[in-house]
């Protein structure tokens, strides 16, 4: 697909301008990370803290080891490497050297379909932003200038994409892998045809009395992330929560999917925090302040007590004495 528009927030542009001004008389630059949705390339994060970069009046080169390490870190947060930004000193858009660098990148990284070059060209105390998308079309290297849509802040993306529906299976697969790396826990995928939701779930067996022999005190405790379906819209909310013995559920938080997808909210620390508080959540589920949960729990105890009292009244627990009495 040929992308037609770059979306970038004003505060991100301000960061690029500030970094450019720090290196007033030479070129400088950085890395671009974000998302690609349909015809949109969305810049969500810029990195330009490389200390070993080479900067001259006509040339900028990022420290390669720094770039590789940062890219791995961003990809763990579901942010894709989009390309680079760099500064020009009044000579317009991409040079022949810029074109060759983009072509070499796409050749060496054949899994990438596009490479974005964002140039900030300074002239007469002002600047111009120029976005160029590089790609291969039937083995022919091409480049195309694309429109830049500036937004006030990242949250405006909610309005742009609120009606757009996505198949997020790949996103969920990547999320599952990242959760495992982040927490050491493996989540299982499940899909409910009846409820039309999609869930990532992790289960553990807890022994309330810390005794392996007392199986009756063991309970199943699970942490889940529930999506409305696999074709959700940006405005839909996902739920994270905990469940006890497949019966008592508590939603810990509901988060707009756009906030997760655009990395406004980091989900991984929230999941790790739930695991850290697992004993607390078990406690509140066993002794919930929720009336319905409390009533269910109390009713279960009430039924057990009734059965126990009935059996006791029938002398079931004194069966040996009853037999001796009948013999006499």
Q: Are strands 40-47 and 54-55 parallel, antiparallel or unpaired?
A: unpaired
- Confidence check: pLDDT of 103 > 80: yes
Query: What is the reported pLDDT for 39?
Result: 87
Minimum mean pLDDT among 81-85, 160-164, 276-280: which range? 160-164
Query: What is the reported pLDDT for 313?
Result: 55
Name the pLDDT band for 320 (thresholds 50, 70, 90). Answer: very low
The DSSP-derived string for 191-225 is EETTTTEEEEEEEEEEETTS-TT-GGGEEEEEEEE
The length of the chain in residues reads 328
Query: What is the reported pLDDT for 304?
Result: 52
* 284 CB-contact burial (10 Å; exposed 0-12 / middle 13-18 / buried 19+): middle
pTM: 0.75
The tokens for 199 are 């869930």
DSSP 316: G
- Confidence check: pLDDT of 277 > 80: yes
- Confidence check: pLDDT of 142 > 70: yes
Please give the Cα distance from 88 to 94 (Å, whole number). Answer: 9
Query: What is the reported pLDDT for 213?
Result: 42
Query: What is the reported pLDDT for 297?
Result: 47
Q: Annotate 15-30 with b (16+ C-beta within 10 A) or e (fewer).
A: bbeebbeeeeeebbbb
pLDDT tens-digit series, residues 44-77: 999 987 678 888 888 888 888 888 899 988 988 8
Please give the Cα distance from 160 to 265 (Å, whole number). Answer: 18
- Confidence check: pLDDT of 212 > 50: no
pLDDT tens-digit series, residues 229-273: 989 998 899 999 999 988 899 999 999 999 999 888 889 999 999
- Confidence check: pLDDT of 299 > 50: yes
Average pLDDT of the chain, as a whole number: 84
**Continuous segment of H or E residues that includes residue 148:** strand 140-151
Please tell us whether the domain made up of 5-152 is placed in CATH 3.30.499.10.
no
Q: Annotate 114-141 with b (16+ C-beta within 10 A) or e (fewer).
A: bbbbbbbbbeeeebebbbbbbbbeeeee
- Confidence check: pLDDT of 291 > 80: no
Task: Give whole-number Cα distances, 286 to 159, 250, 305, in Å.
Answer: 41, 11, 17
- Domain residue extents for the chain: 5-152, 166-287
- Confidence check: pLDDT of 312 > 80: no
């Amino acid at each position: 697909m040929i992308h037609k528009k770059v979306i970038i927030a004003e505060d991100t542009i301000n960061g690029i301008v500030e970094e450019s001004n720090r290196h007033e008389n030479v070129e400088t630059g950085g890395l671009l990370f974000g998302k690609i949705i349909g015809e949109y390339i969305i810049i969500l994060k810029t990195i330009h803290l490389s200390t070993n970069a080479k900067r001259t009046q006509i040339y900028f080169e990022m420290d390669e080891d720094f770039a590789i390490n940062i890219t791995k870190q961003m990809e763990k947060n579901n942010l894709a490497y989009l390309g680079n930004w760099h500064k020009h000193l009044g000579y317009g858009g991409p040079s022949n050297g810029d074109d060759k660098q983009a072509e070499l990148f796409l050749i060496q990284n054949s899994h990438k379909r596009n490479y974005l070059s964002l140039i900030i060209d300074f002239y007469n105390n002002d600047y111009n932003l120029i976005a160029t998308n590089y790609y291969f079309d039937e083995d022919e290297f091409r480049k195309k200038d694309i429109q830049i849509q500036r937004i006030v802040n990242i949250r405006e993306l909610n309005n742009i994409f609120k009606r757009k529906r996505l198949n997020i299976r790949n996103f969920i697969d990547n999320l599952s892998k990242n959760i495992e790396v982040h927490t050491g826990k493996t989540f299982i995928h499940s899909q409910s045809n009846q409820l039309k939701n999609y869930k990532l779930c992790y289960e553990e067996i807890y022994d309330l009395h810390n005794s392996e022999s007392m199986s009756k005190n063991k309970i199943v405790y699970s942490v889940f992330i529930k999506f409305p379906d696999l074709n959700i819209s940006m405005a839909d909310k996902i739920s994270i929560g905990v469940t006890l013995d497949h019966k008592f559920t508590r939603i810990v938080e509901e988060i707009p999917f756009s906030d997760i997808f655009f990395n406004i909210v980091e989900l991984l620390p929230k999941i790790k925090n739930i695991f850290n508080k697992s004993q607390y959540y078990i406690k509140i589920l066993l002794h919930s302040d929720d009336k319905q949960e409390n009533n269910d729990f109390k009713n279960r105890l009430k039924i057990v007590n009734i059965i126990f009292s009935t059996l006791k009244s029938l002398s079931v627990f004194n069966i040996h004495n009853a037999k001796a009495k009948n013999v006499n």
